[in-house]
């Protein structure tokens, strides 16, 4: 039978991060010694105190459907966290728990966007934003930034990108893939512009909030005039190393939260019960309990930056959060390496996979064709070996 798939799925790209991770896994199964620096996933185990709470949840028979928007006591723990860390007051009817922040983002797109609504994405942006927006029939509007401005969008760039069709702005800070962190002052600058355009909503993806080497995290919803129009997205995948437990959440105006719950109720129902119970424990713990991971990420950032600086042709910013470096590799374009023409970042990422056995991700997937993304959520030995191999191959 011929391909009868919908236009919707035919137009959707495969997630480049997941595709590269799958390719690395496949090559490893063939016996190749691949170092995987493609997936944005902490290499730490879930801290024991969180695991214990997951085990207890199983023994306590948390095995039935949970409320679609999440257990009330989890939503209370999220509200307390928002107050404690972000100075944001959300009532329980403003919080929705989902199957990872990825679903939180997809919910928001599906309930907020109409066909042709424009969504401003400062580029580089996280790989799935653009496809999630397109899936909801929105139109992504990329605003390119460069290493010269630390990959951050300026207020003037935001102003210039706004049209009568602009419905939303989506961004992450700390940013995946650039590691850039917007200061409170910088967010105020963007908020000033948005004040002149009261119909634009903001999705503030703060999933890397705690992996921030710069100091205090700033939430745009806490800035004057932004609370009602911001959807704050967060989750436990990154700071608590709970990627596989699939818990994310939003804080938003109650009418948006209600719509997300309605949508989620028709496609997935409540998120996994055990993960929700463990998330209460994770969020109620003081941040000091996970500080050792944040400290390690910072050490590794310094390590990888130092090592990559010895490679000619890699231009680097200093990422202040998350666990990625995003070197500009455009100086290799137009060259040939071991008989392989390198015309773009995808060629270089593929060359590094084949000739250095190191998996990275092309910047094209993140809206920046000059860069590649390297995750340093890996051991120091892996980082050292990977950079040595990259250097040799180049």
Q: How far is CA 185 from CA 146, 179, 181, 203, in A?
A: 20, 18, 11, 18
Q: Give min distance, CB of 177 to ligand GLU, in A.
A: 7
C-alpha 31/C-alpha 124 separation (Å) is: 34
C-alpha 242/C-alpha 245 separation (Å) is: 5
Which of ligand GLU, ligand PMP, none has residue 39 at its interface (CB below 5 to 8 Å by kind)?
A: ligand GLU
Q: Give min distance, CB of 18 to ligand GLU, in A.
A: 5
Binding flag, residue 17, ligand GLU (CB under 6 A): yes
Binding flag, residue 305, ligand GLU (CB under 6 A): no
Closest CA to 331 of 313, 346, 347: 313
C-alpha 159/C-alpha 173 separation (Å) is: 19
Contacts of 381 (CB under 8 A, 6+ apart): none
Site string for ligand GLU, 140-179 (x = CB under 6 A): ------------------------------------x---
C-alpha 235/C-alpha 180 separation (Å) is: 19
Total residues contacting ligand GLU by CB under 6 A comes to 10
Which of ligand PMP, ligand GLU, none has residue 178 at its interface (CB below 5 to 8 Å by kind)?
A: none
Angle (CA) 39 44 46, round 5°: 110
Dihedral angle computed from the Cα positions of residues 39, 45, 51 and 54, in that order, rounded to the nearest 10 degrees? 20
Q: Give min distance, CB of 41 to ligand PMP, in A.
A: 8
Q: Which is nearer to ligand PMP, 138 or 321 (CB)?
A: 321
Q: Which residue is nearest to ligand PMP (CB)?
A: 100
**Dihedral (CA of 58, 62, 64, 70) sign:** negative
Whether the Cβ atoms of residue 244 and residue 257 lie closer than 8 Å to each other: no
Which of ligand GLU, ligand PMP, none has residue 172 at its interface (CB below 5 to 8 Å by kind)?
A: ligand PMP
Q: Which is nearer to ligand GLU, 41 or 69 (CB)?
A: 41
Beta bridge partners of 118: 139, 166
Kindly list the residues in this chain that would bind ligand PMP in the complex (CB under 6 A): 40, 100-102, 126, 172, 176, 205, 207, 235, 237, 243, 248
Q: Where are the beta strands (DSSP E) in 223-298?
A: 230-235, 248-251
Binding flag, residue 103, ligand GLU (CB under 6 A): no
Q: Give min distance, CB of 237 to ligand PMP, in A.
A: 3
Q: Which is nearer to ligand GLU, 94 or 99 (CB)?
A: 99
Cβ-based burial of 312 (10 A; exposed 0-12, middle 13-18, buried ≥19): exposed
Q: Which is nearer to ligand PMP, 233 or 394 (CB)?
A: 233
Q: Which is nearer to ligand GLU, 131 or 186 (CB)?
A: 131
Q: Which is nearer to ligand PMP, 99 or 281 (CB)?
A: 99
Binding flag, residue 15, ligand GLU (CB under 6 A): yes
Binding flag, residue 319, ligand GLU (CB under 6 A): no
| DSSP code of residue 223 | S
Which of ligand PMP, ligand GLU, none has residue 15 at its interface (CB below 5 to 8 Å by kind)?
A: ligand GLU
Closest CA to 16 of 28, 6, 5, 24: 24
* Interacting residue ranges for ligand GLU, rule: CB under 6 A: 15, 17-18, 39-41, 102, 127-128, 176
């Amino acid at each position: 039978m011929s391909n009868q798939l919908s236009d919707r799925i035919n137009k959707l790209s495969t997630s480049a991060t997941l595709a590269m991770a799958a390719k690395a896994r496949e090559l490893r199964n063939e016996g190749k010694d691949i170092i995987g620096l493609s997936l944005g996933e902490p290499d730490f185990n879930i801290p024991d105190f969180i695991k214990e709470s997951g085990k207890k949840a199983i023994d306590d028979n948390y095995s039935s459907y949970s409320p679609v928007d999440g257990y009330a006591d989890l939503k209370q723990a999220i509200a307390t966290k928002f107050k404690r860390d972000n100075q944001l007051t959300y009532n329980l009817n403003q919080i929705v728990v989902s199957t990872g922040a990825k679903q939180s983002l997809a919910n928001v797109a599906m309930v907020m966007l109409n066909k042709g609504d424009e969504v401003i994405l400062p580029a580089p942006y996280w790989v799935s934003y653009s496809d999630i927006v397109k899936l909801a029939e929105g139109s992504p509007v990329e605003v390119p930034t460069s290493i010269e401005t630390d990959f951050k969008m300026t207020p003037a760039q935001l102003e210039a990108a706004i049209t009568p069709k602009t419905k939303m702005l989506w961004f992450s800070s700390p940013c995946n893939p650039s590691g850039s962190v917007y200061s409170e002052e910088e967010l105020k600058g963007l908020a000033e512009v948005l004040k002149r355009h009261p119909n634009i909503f903001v999705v503030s993806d703060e999933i890397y909030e705690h992996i921030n080497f710069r100091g205090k995290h700033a939430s745009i919803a806490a800035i004057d005039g932004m609370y009602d129009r911001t959807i704050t997205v967060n989750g436990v995948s990154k700071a608590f190393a709970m990627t596989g437990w699939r818990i994310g959440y939003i804080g938003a105006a109650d009418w948006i939260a209600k719509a997300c719950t309605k949508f989620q109720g028709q496609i997935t129902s409540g998120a996994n019960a055990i993960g929700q119970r463990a998330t209460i424990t994770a969020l109620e713990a003081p941040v000091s309990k996970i500080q050792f991971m944040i400290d390690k990420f910072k050490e590794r950032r310094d390590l990888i930056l130092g090592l990559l600086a010895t490679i000619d042709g890699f231009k680097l910013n200093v990422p202040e959060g998350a666990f990625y470096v995003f070197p500009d590799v455009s100086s290799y374009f137009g060259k040939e390496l071991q008989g392989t023409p390198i015309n773009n970042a995808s060629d270089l990422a593929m060359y590094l996979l084949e000739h250095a056995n190191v998996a990275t991700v092309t910047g094209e997937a993140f809206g920046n064709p000059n860069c590649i993304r390297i995750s340093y959520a890996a051991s120091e030995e892996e980082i050292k070996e990977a950079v040595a191999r990259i250097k040799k191959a180049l």
